[in-house]
Amino acid sequence: VNDRHHAARTLWHTTPMVILLSTAALPIAFVISRFAVRPEVDVSSLHQALVFAVLGAAVATLIGGTLGGLAGTLEIPGRRWLVALSAALLAAPPAFWWIGFTRAGVTTSTVSGLVAGAAVAGLMLAPISLLLALAATREIPANAFEAARVSLGPARRVWSVLIPLLRPALGSGFLMTAIILLGESEIPFLFGFRTSMTDVVTRFSQTFDVGAAVPTVVPLLGAVLTAGLLAIRPLFALLLPHSRGGRGINRKRATAAASTAMYLLPGIAGLSLSGYARAALSAPPLWRRLPVDGSTLVSSIAEPVLCAWVAVALGVAAALPVRRSAAVRGLAMAGLLVFAIPAALMGIGWIALGEAFAAPRVPPAFAFVSRVIGLPVVAFLGAYARLPASLEDAARLVAISPWRRAWTFVLPLVGPSLVAASALIAALTFADRDVSSMLLQPGESRLMLNLYLASANAPAAVIGSMGLVVFAAGGAAIALSVVGPSAVWFRRQ
């Protein structure tokens, strides 16, 4: 009877999460059902997409992993600021930084093609591996690394001790970057090569027929889901440490070369922004012709903030009942797989669903939220796993409802992770161009889409001014997305 009761309770608790993830995956399931009716695949650009993703991810892992290792093991002046400034590259897509870079007076004449595009995209996404490697260094057993410091030379210590200990971070960083690059279309367009994602976007836009895009969508889906499956193990190994205590490295003083290396990514961000500023100042009167209106500015900021808050609220509401269940791990994995699917494919799926049921076209926010819904679940799980189980057991002694207990005790403790997830969701939503171009209604616009439209033909000064506005608005969106959950949860402390 107890077993049956336990199973029923687990089923009851997992139901919200299952409904949430099923709804999020519904558009993709619908697209796949179209494939089942007409099983055709087009892999003509898949190999290019894979080469682009693997090369870019390798560059990102090499640079980000190295910098993360340096920041995690060495005491570098201004380390926290340098890491934060490096992470700023994630606040906008690689193409945004590249457009600014080309306006900075740096010779870019020979930079084109797949290899160059992969190198540039990898460089701009290096902060993913940096942050993961940095997080992993905090989990390294202090005694093991100190022993290595005493007994091994620097090269051997890095090769035989540090890299193996950072392997989950480097592996998950590589795969997460590859997933993002498989869904990237702007860099291939700018560098003049095809990938599966560019084919999906152009074919769908050219025909506005989901059926025409399905043969390209299916192999791409296969690639991202495979990468997502491979990423689960290293990412969970990083997020869910098996034991606590005695971890974290005592940082030693960095050499000048190591300190200088940490300026690489902030330097790239600064150079790109200076390119926009330089272009903007090339003809100051053009400020007046800046194609930005109030409603575009407000909606461009409000949309990512709302998406972040809704995704976090829904993710937490669905994850709370199953937080102590064994099923939560599987559900978090499913959420991670949904996140691996590019937002543009979600957008196409929602359009297909709308057409099939003669429903009005959904706002872009639906596509964004359905893609990222798994992120707060994973963030919640990762943070909750670090809490001592006895803490919540003790809280059970207080005579309040389970929801009130979660609100009062659990959420403040997992707050920082959810705040980070909220910021990431806002950044991803703000950075999108593909979904906006497919799902916006006449009269609506978004800053990032406008920047791409302007970069086609507008004078340099307009592009420069817009780039700066886009960066400022992106920063505002991320800041607001963080302020919301922070205000709610930290107040509880």
Partner 1 sequence: LCLPAFLGVACWRGAGTPSTDAAIVYCSADKEFAEQIFQAYEARSGRKVLALYDTEETKTAGLTARLVAEKASPKADVLWSSDTSRALALVDQGLAAPYTPSTAEATPARYRDPNGRWTGFAARIRVLLYNTDRVKPSEVPRSIVDLTTQRWKGRFAISNPHFGTMSFHAAALFARWGDAKATAFLQSLRDNGAVIAAGNSDVKDRVSDGRVDVGLMDEDDAVVALRDKRPVAIAILDQQGDAALGTPLMPNVAMLVAGAPHPDAAKLFIDFLVSADAERILADSDAAQYPLHPGVPGPSLLPPLDRVRAMDVDYLEVARRLPQMDAAVRTIFGL
Which residue is associated with the tokens 């090269």?
155
214 contacts partner 1 (rule: CB under 8 A): no
In the complex, least distance from residue 220 CB atom to partner 1, rounded to whole angstroms:
17
Whose CA is closest to 71, among 132, 154, 121?
Answer: 132
Both tokens assigned to 194: 């095809």
DSSP conformational letter for 440: P
Q: Residue 492 contacts by C-beta under 8 Å, 6 or more apart in sequence?
A: 407, 408, 411, 412
Both tokens assigned to 422: 């909220």
In the complex, least distance from residue 278 CB atom to partner 1, rounded to whole angstroms:
12
* Binding region for partner 1 (CB under 8 A) out of 130-138, 205-213, 250-258, 385-393: 205-213
Helix (H, G, I), strand (E, B) or coil at 240: coil
Report whether 39 contacts 217 (CB < 8 A).
no
Could you give the string, one character per residue 452-491, with x where binding to partner 1 holds by CB under 8 A and - elsewhere? xxxxxxxxx-x---------------------x-------
Nearer to partner 1, 79 or 446 (CB): 446
Both tokens assigned to 438: 């497919």
- Name which position in 44, 143, 151, 160 contacts partner 1 (CB under 8 A): 44
Angle at 14 between CA 328 and CA 5, to 5 degrees: 110
In the complex, least distance from residue 189 CB atom to partner 1, rounded to whole angstroms:
4
Both tokens assigned to 185: 């279309």
Could you give the string, one character per residue 229-268, with x where binding to partner 1 holds by CB under 8 A and - elsewhere? ----------------------------------------
443 contacts partner 1 (rule: CB under 8 A): yes
- Name which position in 192, 222, 267, 284 contacts partner 1 (CB under 8 A): 192
CA separation for the pair 387, 324 (Å, rounded): 12
In the complex, least distance from residue 316 CB atom to partner 1, rounded to whole angstroms:
10
Find the binding residues for partner 1 in span 112-131 (CB under 8 A).
112
- Name which position in 208, 287, 403, 490 contacts partner 1 (CB under 8 A): 208
390 contacts partner 1 (rule: CB under 8 A): no
In the complex, least distance from residue 413 CB atom to partner 1, rounded to whole angstroms:
21
201 contacts partner 1 (rule: CB under 8 A): yes
Find the binding residues for partner 1 in span 304-323 (CB under 8 A).
306-307, 309-310, 312-314
DSSP per-residue string spanning 173-222 = HHHHHHHHHHT--HHHHHHT---HHHHHHHHHHHH--HHHHHHHHHHHHH
295 contacts partner 1 (rule: CB under 8 A): no
CA separation for the pair 339, 24 (Å, rounded): 10
DSSP conformational letter for 368: H
CA separation for the pair 425, 301 (Å, rounded): 13
Q: Which residues bind partner 1 (CB under 8 A)?
A: 44, 102, 108-110, 112, 189-190, 192, 198, 201-202, 205-209, 291, 302, 306-307, 309-310, 312-314, 360, 362-363, 365-366, 369, 433, 437, 440-443, 445, 450, 452-460, 462, 484
